Every structure is written in structure tokens, then in C-alpha cells.
Amino acid sequence: MMTILQTANSASFVRRRLDPLGVVVTAVAVAGLFLPFVIFKANRIVPGEGVPLWAALPVWAAIAALVGLGSVLVIAMLRVRGELKLAASGAGLLAVVLLIGLAADTMSPQDDSLARIGIGAGSWLLILALALMLTDALSRLDPGPWTRIGSLAFAMVVFGAILGSGTLNELSILKEYGSRAPAFWQETRRHLELAFGSVLLATGIGVPVGIACHRFSAMRSGVLNLLNIVQTIPSIALFGILIAPLAWIAANVPGARTIGISGIGMAPAMVALTAYALLPVVANTLVGLTGLATTTVEAARGMGMTSGQRLWHVELPLAMPVILTGIRIILVQNIGLSTIAALIGGGGLGVFVFQGAGQTAIDLVLLGAAPTVALAFAAAVLLGSFIDLSAERART
């Protein structure tokens, strides 16, 4: 009987001490340790051969990596303070990135300029597991908006320092960048123009339309139904649909071609991205204005404010957090959708994605995909922080 009770008490103690999400993180990370850490390829387009962590690194580095990652995973599994988990996961992510660079440097043949070292599935799983641990620690600590902005800036500085130090130069994705640096920055600029330009256009159109829908309820269903229909059209199809009418406008309307309108290129991409972005802006503007407390609006009216004054000085400031949430959604969405613009000559980072897919060069695909993901993540963090700051200002 005592043995059963002791066993039950031990099991209960383990359950109290173990973090369920940490167990998942550990399982994913351990799986990553048994998968290829890096991929050795004879050239940039062949599939290559996977190399595990302990074979890709010098013996001392492999032992240190296993001990260090093991310590991080122990912290992940236990219910400990969020600050400790945050520090451990951040150190683990930094260590994995540096180990990838060391492995690439160790395995690169000195007399073979064609060989390539790619990032293996094991590295991606380790990064995924540690990133999950990091985000869980951040969510538990619930940092304020300025702390999130500062953390993002710190992470960017650290990663920029790593890139600038040359630690990762032997990775094939950096070699792809080295041979395409001018084109990369040109397409990055085009990508930002498409994403942010379409968001600015959608905001400039959508907010007034949302205000009009709030003022005139008869137009709500028609406008929202039309924008919902636009959302149901696949992005590639919408890009294609716009080619013919824009080509006709460019050919028949004086001055249209001069300002950049054409059947292919940036114009149809910008129109399509703007059309996709309208629904969240209009809907969130309408929801933000409709959800305002009636007493607040009546108090403003009682103070003698005109309709326009109430809109600009009371209603829009109070609705701004909800409106910014819609803008955050469309910015992250359009950063991703801008990749597809390359299919119709719109440029952007999708150029490298589709070039890499056509050449079976996965690292060229990553050259376009990785910055897109990083841009979307940074945009989400920054706008999320601005939303919280706006909400705090609205409360005061």
C-alpha cells in the first residue's frame, strides 16, 4: 500500500514540475538532433548528403553543443521562472546559429568553389523548438510595447552583427546572396514598395469607406459583400484578371503608361494587393466606430461638438486600436502576398523564390523566403506594440 502511495505521489510531483509545452519543445529538439544538421552538396542544385551535428562539428564543439542544448532542454521541461526560460531559449537560438556557421566553415572544402553547405532539417527543428520556447516565455512575461520593440531591435542588432562578422559566409544561402547582392536589395525595395504602398492605399480608401458605412447603414451590406467576394478570388487568379483591363488602359488612356500603368508589372500587383487589403480595413473601421460607448459619443455631442469634431477628436482616436489591428493584419498578409507578384513581373523577393524553384536550388528559394518571413514577423511585432500604445493613450 505504501509503495502505491509513494508511486502516486512521485507521479503527481513529476506532473507538477514538468511543463507540458516544454516536453513538446524537448521532443521536437531531440528529433532535430537525430536529423541532418547541415547538408553537404557538390554544387548548388544537387540534393546533397545530410550530416548530423556530431559529424559536422569539431569534437570539442559537438560535445559543448550537446551539453549546452541538453541544459536548455532541461530548463524547457521544468516549470521555472519565465525570465530563465527566456534567457535559455535566446542563448540556445544564438548557439544554434553560431554552430551552423561553424559547421559550414568546418565542412567547406578549401579547394572546391562549387561545393555548398546548406541548413539541414535538424537545424530547422532545433530553431523551431527554441523559438517556440522563446515565444512561450515572452507570452508568460507579457512584456510591454516598448520592451517588445526594444527586444526586436536588440535581436536585429545581434543577427546583423553575426552576419557582419562573416561567421555564416560559408553557408550556401550567403553565397547565393553574394552573387546577387545588388539584385537582392533592388527586389527587397520593390517588395517593400508593394507591401507598404498597397497598405497605405488600402488605408486611405478603406478608412473613409468604413466611416461612410458607419454613417449610412444602408450601404454596409453591399460594400462588405463586394469586398468579401474579392477575398474569395485566389491571389494568382486576381493578378491574372487584372492584366487585360490594365493593358487596355495603358494602350488607350493618354498618360496611363507614363505613370506606370501596364498589363504586367507593378501596377496589377499593387491593385490586387490593395483590393485584398480593403476588407480588413473597412470591417475594422466599422467595428471600431460601432463599438464605441454611446455615453461617450453623447457626452461629446452635449459639449457642442459638431459631427466632424466628434469624428476626429473622439470617435477615431477611441477606435484607433481596432483600426490598427486591421492594418496589422493586412500588412503581414501583403508582405507574404507580394511574393506572388513576381509571377506577373511585379518584382519583389518572390523573384528569388520562383527562380530557385525553377532551378531546384533550395537556397535561392530561402534567399527570397527567409527575408519575407522576417519582415512579416517584424511588422507584426511593431504594429502590435503600436496598437497597445494606442490603446493606452485611448484609455487616458
Please write the tens of the pLDDT for every residue from 169-196: 889 899 889 888 899 999 999 999 999 9
For residues 270-277, average pLDDT: 88
pLDDT at residue 153 tops 80: yes
pLDDT of amino acid 200: 93
Considering the chain, what percentage of its residues have pLDDT values greater than 70?
A: 94
Pick from 28-42, 109-123, 191-205, 274-288: least confident:
109-123
Q: What is the pTM of this model?
A: 0.85
pLDDT of amino acid 27: 93
pLDDT of amino acid 396: 63
What residue ranges of the chain are covered by domains with CATH 1.20.140? 15-171
62-69 LR contacts (CB < 8 Å, sep 24+): 65/95, 65/99, 66/33, 68/92, 68/95, 69/29, 69/33, 69/95, 69/96, 69/126
pLDDT at residue 46 tops 60: yes
What residue ranges of the chain are covered by domains with CATH 1.10.3720.10? 181-395
Burial zone of 136 (CB within 10 Å; 0-12 exposed, 13-18 middle, 19+ buried): buried
Q: Give backbone dihedrals phi and psi of 265, rounded to 5 degrees, phi first.
A: 110, -150
pLDDT of amino acid 143: 87
Task: Copy the grid coordinates of residue 310.
Answer: 466628434
CATH of the domain spanning 181-395: 1.10.3720.10
Which residues, 6+ apart, have CB-to-CB distance to 5 below 8 Å?
none
pLDDT at residue 209 tops 90: yes
Write out the E strands in 110-170. Answer: 116-119
For residues 59-85, average pLDDT: 91
Write out the E strands in 208-279. Answer: none
Strands of the sheet containing 38-41, edge to edge, are: 49-51, 38-41, 116-119
Determine the topology of domain 15-171 in CATH: Butyryl-CoA Dehydrogenase, subunit A; domain 3 (1.20.140)
Pick from 154-168, 216-230, 252-266: least confident:
252-266
User: Averaging pLDDT over each range in 9-18, 372-381, 387-396, which range is the top one?
Assistant: 372-381
What is the band of 11 on the pLDDT scale with cuts at 50, 70, 90? Answer: very low
pLDDT of amino acid 395: 65
